[in-house]
Amino acid sequence: MKRAFPIFLTVSVLTIMVTLACSQSAALTPTPLPLPASTQTNTPEPTATVTNTPKPTHTPKPTATPNVEATQNAEAFQEILERFQGKGYISTTDGESTSLKDFKGEYAQLGYYYKWWWPLGDKEYSRFVFSAHFEWASSGSTSDASGCGLGFGIKSNENHYAIFLDRENLFLMRTRGTQVYRMGTSGGERFPSIPIPARADFVMAVWDQNVTVSVNDTVVTYILSSELNGEGKVAFSVLSGTNGGYGTRCKMSNIIFWTPK
């Protein structure tokens, strides 16, 4: 059975509903997220409705082929690790990096996101750094939030965090049961608006209960909720900004996933 648990959060005149679908290897079980355009709040106002979520098209590519470009990417990534350690976002640069082939996914259901399987299996992580170049576009003209993202801290009961990069905002969401919250930032700066065609260099460090995100070298920080730790599975995700055509299409390239020893 497919289930959805829509949550409505009204900010001014804006109401947005976002759902989560399960990974490719499990039954489809979406969970919605409120995405206010300009405010940051941890106060949910949940109501539940049942609806069906169509399965999106996707092309995950789980393995990587070493080449000159990959070597250059690895060197640049090492500089990121050293910079993050110097700022105190992570405590070590001693770890293991895995390069992944490009991820491509698209989803056409306004205000919903879909979570794809993770190419490195079902291992759970509490500390990692993820780096990728994001490119995304939506079918037709839309001002609704859309973009590439990542689910993390995913539990067996589907409680999780998910983060999405829109052209104007970062959205870090926490789902616990049927309740969904948008997490407020703890520090950093607002990144400049991303022009069309939308593309950005995205880096995220999850370090226990601390999350650091770099968007084109602009850093934003978060502290995760004490009610839900950041340890869990990881998954690619796409947030759809339209029902039409292909919906929202996301490509992630130059993907590196690093974990400490």
Q: Judge whether 97 and 77 are in contact, CB under 8 Å.
A: yes
What are the E-state strand segments in 3-52? 10-11, 14-15
This prediction's pTM: 0.76
H or E stretch at 102: none
Instruction: State the average pLDDT for the chain.
Output: 79
Highest mean pLDDT among 3-17, 139-153, 193-207: 193-207
- What is the arrangement of strands in the sheet containing 179-182, beginning at the earlier edge strand? 113-115, 233-239, 147-154, 160-165, 170-176, 179-182
Label residue 166 left, alpha or beta by phi (over 0 means left) and psi (-120 to 50 means alpha). beta
Question: How far apart are alpha carbons 230 and 175 in whole angstroms?
Answer: 12
Instruction: State pLDDT tens for residues 35-61.
Output: 443 333 343 434 333 334 455 555 555
Q: Judge whether 101 and 64 are in contact, CB under 8 Å.
A: yes
Going from N- to C-terminal start, the domains of the chain cover 10-48+61-260
Instruction: State pLDDT tens for residues 154-207.
Output: 999 999 999 999 999 999 999 888 887 899 999 999 899 999 899 999 999 999
In this structure, whether the domain defined by 10-48+61-260 belongs to CATH 2.60.120.560 is answered with yes
